[in-house]
Amino acid sequence: MSTKLASDLRDLLGDEIVADDRNSIAAHSGDKWFATHPPDLVVFARSTEDVSKLLHFASREKVPVTARGGGFGYVGGCVPARAGIALSLIRMNRIKEINFTDAVAIVEPGVFTAELKSAVCAQQLFYPPDPASMKDCTIGGNVATNAGGPRCLKYGVTRNYVIGLEVVLGNGEILRTGGRVHKNKTGFDLIGLFVGSEGMLGIVTWRLVSCSCSCSCP
């Protein structure tokens, strides 16, 4: 199955982002937890379109997909327990915008948390969530797990700073919710539904995060 699956995905997405070699499989079989399980192959998504095409294909073909960020969790959240496809988001690593006036940043899931904090600090903004592994964990993983950190007692957790999301649903449909306003009471709180859902409801492909204005970053 894995040979045909790899061939089909290369036809769909291109050779350069589909890997089924031994080293790639081993590197995406687990996180920092003790349990591992190898996927059939790995897809390194470059864009929302890649994720959408992949999930549409996987839904049609009934192939399991397990999303992966930095792979620095300790609970086995990115272990592909049912094999199938390990979807790595590490190449989606762009900070698309930092806006001081609106005090927001638009970030792809593969951006490391410490990188975002440094980038907004350079623009006199402060992004508070600070998980202990922030040099190694990604914003995508933070959103998936609703990460906090030592400062969460004072500033809150990731959910308190996510005000917009782009999510690819299991059938490949792209959903956008939220916006630049820091308080939005229109409709259901879909952001609260997706943040902390560990990728089970959809794959977040970018997020709009709010920041605090700060003359010095603590």
Per DSSP (E only), the strands in 26-133 are 41-44, 65-68, 85-88, 95-99, 104-107, 125-126
Please identify which residue in the block is written with the tokens 């600090």. 121
Residue 216 has pLDDT above 70, yes or no: no
Out of 3.40.190.10, 3.40.30.160, 3.30.43.10, 3.30.1540.10, which CATH number does the structure's domain 2-88 have?
A: 3.30.43.10
- Show the tokens assigned to 63: 């192939």
Residue 123 has pLDDT above 70, yes or no: yes
3-state secondary structure of 208: strand
pLDDT at 1: 58
Residues of the chain with CATH 3.30.465.10: 95-213
Asked whether the beta carbons of 5 and 40 are under 8 A apart, the reply is yes
pLDDT at 85: 98
Contacts of 91 (CB under 8 A, 6+ apart): 17, 44, 45, 46, 110
Residue 100 has pLDDT above 70, yes or no: yes
Q: What sign for the dihedral angle of Cα 173, 179, 185, 190?
A: positive
Per DSSP (E only), the strands in the chain are 18-19, 41-44, 65-68, 85-88, 95-99, 104-107, 125-126, 162-168, 174-178, 203-210, 212-213
End-to-end CA distance of the chain: 51
pLDDT at 186: 78
pLDDT in tens, 4-56: 999 999 999 999 999 999 999 999 999 988 889 999 999 999 999 999 999 99
Residues of the chain with CATH 3.30.43.10: 2-88
pLDDT at 211: 86
pLDDT at 45: 98
pLDDT at 185: 75
Band (212; pLDDT cuts 50, 70, 90) = confident
Q: Which of 17, 20, 62, 59 is nearest to 41 (CA)?
A: 20
CATH class of 95-213: alpha beta
Band (84; pLDDT cuts 50, 70, 90) = very high
Residue 177 has pLDDT above 60, yes or no: yes
Band (193; pLDDT cuts 50, 70, 90) = very high
Q: What is the mean pLDDT of the chain?
A: 93
Band (118; pLDDT cuts 50, 70, 90) = very high
Residue 215 has pLDDT above 60, yes or no: no
Please identify which residue in the block is written with the tokens 């999301």. 165
pLDDT in tens, 130-174: 999 999 999 999 999 999 999 999 999 999 999 999 999 999 999
Could you tell me what percent of the chain has a pLDDT over 70? 97
